[in-house]
Amino acid sequence: MAKENLTPSEYISQVIEKVKKRNPNEPEFLQAVEEVLNSLTPVLEKHPEYIEENLLERFCEPERQIMFRVPWVDDEGKVQVNRGFRVQFNGAIGPYKGGLRFHPSVYIGIIKFLGFEQILKNSLTGLPIGGGKGGSDFDPRGKSDGEIMRFCQSFMTELYRHIGPDVDVPAGDIGVGAREIGYLYGQYRRIRGAFENGVLTGKGLSYGGSLIRPEATGFGVSYYCQEMLKHEGQSFEGKTVAVSGFGNVAWGVCKKVEQLGGKVVTLSGPDGYIYDPDGVVGEKVDYLVEMLNINKGARVKDYADKYGVQFFPGEKPWDVKVDIVIPCAVQNDITLEHAKKIVANGVKFVCEAANMPCTNEAVQYFLENGVIVGPAKAANAGGVATSALEMSQNSMRLSWTAEEVDAKLHQIMVNIYNNCKKASEEYGFGYNLVAGANIAGFIKVAEAMHAQGNY
């Protein structure tokens, strides 16, 4: 059928079928695409030209997918080989921008789901940044500092030819923290022969990093969740929060939730979860920073042993009766079964801090049962937004204070929340932040793609 004869929903179904066929065995990428496209029918009703110019199929196909070999030498002198990726998904509104994930689970499908989400997330920040993502199946856990450095140097020896401050600006994600960014940037500068510190974000303060960037994702999701609570006439004051993960994002959430009057009572890792009824507060939040050093092979059980709290081996924290759930670990952390337990516990707020932490079935169940869901592409945009603020500081060759950056971050998150709410209402979804985020994020990119011609 010619495109112009398709209804919006027929066109969306056709695009989803093509994405399935073109990207077999990439379930996470397909999950991300279906979740977004199924919100866009009213947008296509308003913009039939997007069907005529097949904009949606272009939106779901990365502009560029780069894959490369990463050989490196371990401490025993043996040559190891990993695979590196960079997906430059959509550059219509700015240079590609997105993290690097170093984790054994990484394959092209993971990078494409992350890159696809990043397009909409970066658009929602209101800042001029396109969507991209990269990484490797390299496992940093248990590696020495020297092995991490040699891997990063080899990874950048390939990646540098594809990136630049106005081309593609990588940053951290799972397994890539300030240390890795430092080694990556050092190799980039050595090869490029130019300072160009705007090429990576999450840098150390001594060479152009931004204050608040380490805390930004956790702070941002807390600000977004605060707006969700305000809409119901509530606040974090006296609230208990269940968090999964115990990395950088969880740390920022613990710190900001405490500042806002609440307390996080669970943390989780691959080994299980802890329950601390007194809350992960005060110096216990600082201990999280120590645990962040993955080289120590840190386990969340270490927290339970240190503070004498309950540890539940091999389990997830979704049985715990709390007021708010904020998943900060990995994709598909909350399944439909978990969602049923969370609803049965009377939880009314789920705010996604990790990327795609709930299955589509879990999100649907939450929405059907009166739970307010803050979607990851909106709620966890504080990290990349602060990365863009780092880029701004680098371009101007100046540094803002922590208070200035935190205030800008807070305002960005309030704007994102308001735009999600407004888009949802305007396009007939009522108060549905999930649909609103997809619509608000898509509209700006679609307008830019339309204006730039149908390539």
Ligand X SMILES: N=C(CCC(=O)O)C(=O)O
Residues annotated within a binding site for substrate: 97, 118, 121, 172, 387
Which one of residues 91, 94, 95, 99 is an interface residue with ligand X (CB under 6 A)?
Answer: 99
Shortest CB 380 distance to ligand X, Å: 6
The whole-angstrom separation of Cα 256 and Cα 220 is 9
Cα radius of gyration rounded to whole Å, the chain: 21
If the CB atoms of residues 187 and 201 are measured against ligand X, the closer one turns out to be: 201
If the CB atoms of residues 266 and 386 are measured against ligand X, the closer one turns out to be: 386
If the CB atoms of residues 210 and 266 are measured against ligand X, the closer one turns out to be: 210
Residues annotated within the binding site for NAD(+) are: 217, 248
Which range binds ligand X by CB under 6 A, 92-100, 180-188, 345-353, 431-439?
A: 92-100
Nearest CA among 367, 389, 378 for reference residue 442: 378
Task: Assess 88 for contact with ligand X (CB under 6 A).
Answer: no
Nearest CA among 237, 241, 232 for reference residue 342: 241
Contact map string, positions 116 to 135, toward ligand X, x by CB under 6 A:
-----x--------------
Task: Assess 383 for contact with ligand X (CB under 6 A).
Answer: yes
Shortest CB 214 distance to ligand X, Å: 11
CA dihedral sign, ordered 283, 286, 288, 291: negative
If the CB atoms of residues 82 and 380 are measured against ligand X, the closer one turns out to be: 380
Task: Assess 357 for contact with ligand X (CB under 6 A).
Answer: no
If the CB atoms of residues 165 and 279 are measured against ligand X, the closer one turns out to be: 165
Number of residues that bind ligand X (CB under 6 A): 11
Shortest CB 410 distance to ligand X, Å: 17
* DSSP assigned state of 402: H
Using an 8 Å Cβ cutoff, are 110 and 330 in contact?
no
Shortest CB 378 distance to ligand X, Å: 11
Which one of residues 173, 227, 276, 406 is an interface residue with ligand X (CB under 6 A)?
Answer: 173
Kindly list the strands in the beta sheet with 168-172, ordered across the sheet, starting from the edge strand earlier in the chain.
Answer: 64-73, 79-90, 130-136, 96-102, 168-172
Nearest CA among 332, 372, 381 for reference residue 353: 381
Shortest CB 127 distance to ligand X, Å: 11
Task: Assess 387 for contact with ligand X (CB under 6 A).
Answer: yes
Q: Would strands 324-327 and 310-313 be described as parallel, antiparallel, or unpaired?
A: unpaired
Residues annotated within the binding site are: 97, 118, 121, 172, 217, 248, 387
Helices 108-124 and 402-426: crossing angle in degrees, nearest 10, is: 90
| Residue showing the smallest CB distance to ligand X in the complex | 99
Residue 189: what residue type? R
Angstrom CA distances, 217 to 47, 129, 132, 141, 406, stand at 33, 17, 17, 22, 11
Task: Assess 201 for contact with ligand X (CB under 6 A).
Answer: yes
Which range binds ligand X by CB under 6 A, 67-75, 87-95, 359-367, 382-390?
A: 382-390
Using an 8 Å Cβ cutoff, are 251 and 216 in contact?
no
* DSSP assigned state of 334: B
Query: Which of the residues are catalytic?
Result: 133
Task: Assess 333 for contact with ligand X (CB under 6 A).
Answer: no
Which one of residues 12, 119, 149, 171 is an interface residue with ligand X (CB under 6 A)?
Answer: 171
Angstrom CA distances, 174 to 104, 140, 177, 250, 278, stand at 11, 10, 8, 12, 28
Shortest CB 397 distance to ligand X, Å: 20
Using an 8 Å Cβ cutoff, are 242 and 250 in contact?
no
The binding site for ligand X (CB under 6 A) comprises 97-99, 121, 171, 173, 201, 355, 383-384, 387
